Amino acid sequence: MSLNDTHAGPHAKLIYMANQIAKFMESKPHAEGLTLLASHINDFWEPRMRRHLFEVLDAGGAGLRPLVLEAASAIKRPAVAA
């Protein structure tokens, strides 16, 4: 199964990446996985990627794993691009 078989649209790769991180973090105790997921995105995703993630989240979060949705409040929302 390819990436495009599971997610469509302009943010397909970003959804896939967020879900891969979440899938790994789901193997940890819930609170730890939640914290580590948000920390990973905050530390390693550039503002443009986080901005696109928030576009998906603000549109309802379709395609994102529940852990990503839950971690959203701890992910830093970047300023709107000029």
Global pTM exceeds 0.75: yes
pLDDT average, residue stretch 40-53? 97
Angle between helix axes 30-44 and 47-58 (nearest 10 degrees) is: 130
Residue with tokens 């940890």: 28
Q: Give the pLDDT score at 9.
A: 83
DSSP character string of 57-68: HHTT-TT--HHH
Question: Which residues, other chains included, contact 44 with Cβ-Cβ below 8 Å and sequence gap of 6+?
Answer: none
Which band of pLDDT confidence, cut at 50, 70 and 90, is reported for residue 1? Answer: very low
